[in-house]
Amino acid sequence: MAGLEDLYREIILDHYRSPRNRGELPVPPARKLEGFNPLCGDEIVLYLDVDDSTGTVSDLRIGGQGCSISQASSSMMGAAVRGKTVAEARQLIRAFKALMSIHESRLEGDGDGDDLAAELQGVKLGDLEALQGVVKFPVRIKCATLAWNTLAQGLDDDQLQSA
Ligand code: ZN
């Protein structure tokens, strides 16, 4: 399906050229998190503002630099989780990582990824589906998941602090 791959490439390039939610937030109240993918040299600086009274990701900003996959993925992540509840953000993290690993496990021939597919049930990935082409290049999966791992770390820190 060349048509679909072209569409996916367009979406990725659009986010790479016009990244969403670029910038910084004052720390505190925002939390600053940094992620690094040594395999490719991608860096992400994530400013995360979680409103504890409503349990939502009230704002976030993204900085850093790296390859088109890492930058597009962080832009898509920001657009997807901004304004969402922490629970919804976690669900998106799981769904996105499942999207990446389903293909990974199929490539490696161990299982058909049914458990992972369950994580995707009822989750709207939207533009994020454009990144599934990345799994054909396993070394690039870490580029795509960098922003998500950094976000997960930020949400975990948040729970520790409010516990
Ligand atoms: Zn990369």
Cα(44) to ligand 1 centroid in Å equals 11
Instruction: Determine the distance separating the centroid of ligand 1 and the alpha carbon of 113, expressed in angstroms.
Output: 25
> Which helix (DSSP H) or strand (DSSP E) does residue 61 occupy?
strand 56-63
Separation of 67 CA from ligand 1 center, angstroms?
4
| CATH value at residue 37 | 3.90.1010.10
Mean pLDDT of 156-162: 64
Q: Which structure tokens are listed for 32?
A: 């600053």
Q: Kindly give the distance from the C-alpha atom of residue 69 to the centroid of ligand 1, in angstroms, as a whole number.
A: 6
Write the pLDDT tens digit of every residue in 14-54. Answer: 999 999 999 999 999 999 999 999 999 999 999 999 998 99
When divided into structural domains, the chain yields a total of 1
Question: By the 8 A CB rule, do 90 and 159 touch?
Answer: no
CA of 32 to the centre of ligand 1 (A): 21
Tell me which residue range forms the domain holding 16: 2-162
Q: Which residues contact 98 (CB under 8 A, 6 or more apart)?
A: 113, 116, 117, 119, 120
Within 10 angstroms of residue 99's Cβ, the number of other Cβ atoms is 25
Q: How far away, in angstroms, is 140 Cα from ligand 1 center? A: 6
Distance (Å) from CA 139 to ligand 1 centroid: 9
Distance from chain centroid for Cα 52: 22
Burial of 118 (0-12, 13-18, 19+ CB in 10 A): exposed
Is residue 163 very low, low, confident or very high in pLDDT (cuts 50, 70, 90)? very low
Ligand 1 center–CA 36 separation, angstroms: 10
How far lies 94's CA from each of 22, 98, 100, 140, in Å? 23, 6, 10, 18
Closest CA to 102 of 93, 91, 112: 112
The answer, yes or no, to whether residue 100 has pLDDT greater than 50, is yes
